[in-house]
Amino acid sequence: MKNLSFTKKLVANAFSIGVLCLAWILPMQHSFAVPAFARQTDQSCIACHAGGQFPELTPYGRLFKLTGYTIGERTTPVSVMGVVGASKMAKPDSVNSSLVNYQQPELSSPINKSLSFETASLFFAGKITDNIGGFAQITYDNFASPDSSGANTVGHSGADNMDIRYADQIVTPSSNLIYGLSLNNNPSVSDPWNTSWAWMNYVPYTGGKGSNAYIDATTPYPNNGLPGLVSGLNAYAFLNKTFYGELGFYRTANKFMSFMNSGHDAAPIKGSNPYWRVAYNKEWGPQNFMIGLSGMTGHPYDSSFGATWSDAASYYSVKSNGMDFQYQYLLDPHTITIQSVYQHQLTSPSSQDVMQNGNSPYGANIFRLKGSYVYMAKYGGSLAHFNQTGDFSMATTGNTYEVFYIPMQNIRVGLQLTNYSKLANIDNPRDANTIRLYGWFSY
C-alpha cells in the first residue's frame, strides 16, 4: 500500500465494506467466470477456468483465488451474467403425482417451458488492495417461487455467493506459502479446486432450472440449508502448491453480519460450527491431481428442518465428512477435467424430535463424478453421474450428458440431458428425464 495515498486507502477500504454490504434474499446459485476478474488481469477466461468452462479452475485460477483475487489492476468491479433456457421433461404429470404421494412439492412450471429468460446476476468483484479482493453476486431468478395461485412462478432478486479475502504469499527460492482469510456466506465456497460441497451440485450446473434440478432438491442438509443464512471466517494456507489446509467457523449471519444472510434474523444454526478441509495437490507436466478431505459439524435448530414445535433451543447435530479428487490434463488445445466428491452425512435428531417422533440418527451418502473435455476452449462435452443413498427414502441416481459450444468467451450454448434411474420415491424415475437447451452470456 505504499503506492496509495491515505485517501485512496480510505476509498479502497470503504469499497471493501461496501462490497460486504451486498446481500439480500434467496438461496444460492453458482458463480460462473467473472468478467470483472478478466478485465482486472486483461486475460481470457481460460487463464483461470479450464477450457473456459465453469467452475473448474486451472492451477493459475486456483492461485488467483487463493491470493485473494489480487493479481492485476483495479478496474470497474462490476459484471453481469444472464441465462436463457428451454426444457422438456418426459412426463411431468406422472412425476407430480408421485411427488404428491411422497409429500414433496410439485414441479414448478418452468421445468417444461419454451425458450425464456431464467436468471441474471450482477457481480461486484475485483481487487481492492494489494492483499484484499473478493466477489459478491446478486442473482435474479425469474422462476424463484410459485405465485399465490400456485399455477405460475414469480421472480426474486437476492444475495448469492460472497467471498471476500485477505491473502498474502511468501516466496523463497525453495518454498512458496500462500495464506489468508476468507469471509464468506457458504461453507466450502472458499474451496480453491471448486470441487467441495458448495460446488458439488454442479453436474454440470448452468444456472436457471437445470435438467438435473432434482439432484439439488434431494441433497440433504446442510448442503442446501446453510448458504445465505450463515457467515463464516476461514483461515487457510497452501504450502509449495502441494499441501492445503483450511479451518473455519460458521455462525448465523444475524445482527452485525446480517448483511450476508437472506435478510431476516431467524437463526438457522446454534453457535459456531466448524468447517475444515485438507488437500494434497500434485502437478507434473500438463497434468495435475488433487485428493482432499473435508468435514463440517453443524447444529441447525429444529426450525431449519421445518419443525413446528416451539422449543427454539432444540437443535439437531449434522456431521458431514467427505472426500473429493480432481484430475486435469491441460495442454492447448485439449482440456480434460475429472472431478469427484463423496460425502457421508449423519444426522442426529434433536431432543424434541426424539421425544415427539422417536426418530433415531440417520445417514446419507452422496456421490458425484463428472468428466469433461473441451477442444480449443470452444467445443466441449461432459458426462456426469450422481448417486445418493440414505436411511431416508432419498435414493437418487442418474447421469447428465452435455455438449456445449463457446463461440466467444462471453457466450456459451449447451444442450444437456439428464436420465434418472432413481428419484426419491417416484414410481417411474424415467418420467423425470429432462432435456434442456440453454444460452449463457456475461459481460
Partner 1 sequence: MRNISLSLALTVSIIVTACSSTTERSRTLGDPNVSGKTIAQQVCSTCHGVNGNSVSPQYPKLAGQSEEYIMAQLKSFENHLRTDRLAIEIMSGMSRDISVQQAKDIAEYFSSQTLIKDVKKTSVNTSKGKDIFENGILDRGITACVTCHGPEAKGQFAYPRLAGQHKEYLVKQLHVFKETQGRPNTPMEFVIKNLSEKEIDQVSTYLSTLD
Do residues 346 and 370 touch, judged by C-beta distance below 8 A? Answer: no
Radius of gyration, CA atoms only, the chain = 21
Of the residues 95, 162, 229, 330, which one makes contact with partner 1 according to CB under 8 A: 330
Nearest CA among 312, 219, 310, 309 for reference residue 269? 312
Contact between 283 and partner 1 by CB under 8 A: the answer reads yes
Contact between 7 and partner 1 by CB under 8 A: the answer reads no
Contact between 53 and partner 1 by CB under 8 A: the answer reads no
Of the residues 171, 306, 310, 393, which one makes contact with partner 1 according to CB under 8 A: 171
Q: Output 254 or 297, the one with its CB closest to partner 1.
A: 254
Shortest distance, position 340 Cβ to partner 1, whole Å: 22
Contact between 90 and partner 1 by CB under 8 A: the answer reads no
Applying CB under 8 A, which part among 98-106, 151-159, 281-289, 431-439 lies near partner 1?
Answer: 281-289
Q: Output 37 or 202, the one with its CB closest to partner 1.
A: 37
Nearest CA among 367, 401, 370, 369 for reference residue 387? 367
Q: Output 269 or 384, the one with its CB closest to partner 1.
A: 269
Of the residues 57, 95, 181, 290, which one makes contact with partner 1 according to CB under 8 A: 181
Do residues 37 and 64 touch, judged by C-beta distance below 8 A? Answer: yes
- The interface mask with partner 1, positions 238-267, x = CB under 8 A, is -------------x--xxxx----------
Query: What are the grid coordinates assigned to 56, written together?
Result: 473448474
Contact between 63 and partner 1 by CB under 8 A: the answer reads yes
Contact between 71 and partner 1 by CB under 8 A: the answer reads yes
Of the residues 32, 123, 124, 166, which one makes contact with partner 1 according to CB under 8 A: 166
How far is residue 171's CA from residue 65's CA, in Å, rounded to a whole number?
Answer: 17
Query: What are the grid coordinates assigned to 240, written together?
Result: 509449495
Q: Output 107 or 377, the one with its CB closest to partner 1.
A: 377
DSSP β-bridge partners for residue 267? none
Measured CA distances, 127 to 64, 65, 73 (Å)? 11, 11, 7
Contact between 369 and partner 1 by CB under 8 A: the answer reads no
CA dihedral 262, 342, 58, 418 (to 10 degrees): -80
Contact between 149 and partner 1 by CB under 8 A: the answer reads no
SS3 state of residue 73: coil
Of the residues 76, 173, 308, 310, which one makes contact with partner 1 according to CB under 8 A: 173
Of the residues 18, 59, 274, 381, which one makes contact with partner 1 according to CB under 8 A: 59
Contact between 60 and partner 1 by CB under 8 A: the answer reads yes
Shortest distance, position 245 Cβ to partner 1, whole Å: 20
Shortest distance, position 262 Cβ to partner 1, whole Å: 17
Q: How far does the chain reach from its first CA to its final CA, in angstroms?
A: 29
Listed in order, strand segments (DSSP E) in 230-272 are 230-239, 243-252
SS3 state of residue 435: strand
Shortest distance, position 46 Cβ to partner 1, whole Å: 6
Measured CA distances, 7 to 3, 21, 205, 416 (Å)? 12, 21, 42, 50
Contact between 12 and partner 1 by CB under 8 A: the answer reads yes
SS3 state of residue 364: strand
Applying CB under 8 A, which part among 12-20, 144-152, 187-195, 215-223 lies near partner 1?
Answer: 12-20
Shortest distance, position 279 Cβ to partner 1, whole Å: 17
Query: What are the grid coordinates assigned to 38, written together?
Result: 478478466
How far is residue 266's CA from residue 283's CA, in Å, rounded to a whole number?
Answer: 45
Of the residues 11, 15, 18, 44, which one makes contact with partner 1 according to CB under 8 A: 44
Task: Report the largest interatomic distance among the alpha carbons of the chain, rounded to a whole angstrom.
Answer: 67
Query: What are the grid coordinates assigned to 365, written together?
Result: 451418502
The total of other beta-carbon atoms located within 10 Å of residue 360's CB is 10
Shortest distance, position 126 Cβ to partner 1, whole Å: 12
SS3 state of residue 215: helix
Contact between 374 and partner 1 by CB under 8 A: the answer reads no
Binding site for partner 1 (CB under 8 A): 1-3, 9, 12-13, 16-17, 41-44, 46-47, 59-60, 63-64, 67, 70-73, 127-132, 166, 168-171, 173, 176, 181, 183, 233, 251, 254-257, 283-286, 330-332
